[in-house]
Amino acid sequence: MLTIVQLLTVGLLWGVTNPFIRLGSQGIESITDSGSRYRNFLAELRMIGSRLSYWIPFGLNQCGSLLYVWTLQSANITIAVPVANSLSFVFTAITGYLLGEQQPGKNIIIGTLLICFGSILMIYDKMQHEQQIQSFEFSD
């Protein structure tokens, strides 16, 4: 059960921070320094480096990555990878919508529901498997 909560938290941290990272990095594509590529890179780095609106969500996103690596030590990787990544997509879509990025179309809503349903099935199967193992261990 703890693994499920950890994977949900990873998906939440990754998904919710993605739209905020996008917002914090707005305008970087318009930076053009008439000098070399090196000077252009430094101008972009200076812009991003000075924005807390980029670094705070980025730091939270990286905390999600640390939790993910830590969770993989005890989680079944065939379940952990798709669940965390799919939930990240769901939370990104929801957060982006709440921030006014784009109203989700029919395909996004259907895809999000299918992802949620698939994740629930994977988690349910994992819980059933763990119960079978526990009941087998107690019967010996």
**How many domains does the chain divide into?**
1
What is the reported pLDDT for 139?
A: 60
Which of 78, 76, 82 has its CA nearest to residue 10? 82
Q: Which residue ranges in the chain fall short of pLDDT 70? A: 33-34, 137-140
Cβ atoms of 39 and 33 closer than 8 Å: yes
What is the reported pLDDT for 73?
A: 92
DSSP one-letter code for 74: T
What is the reported pLDDT for 33?
A: 67
Q: What is the pTM of this model?
A: 0.74
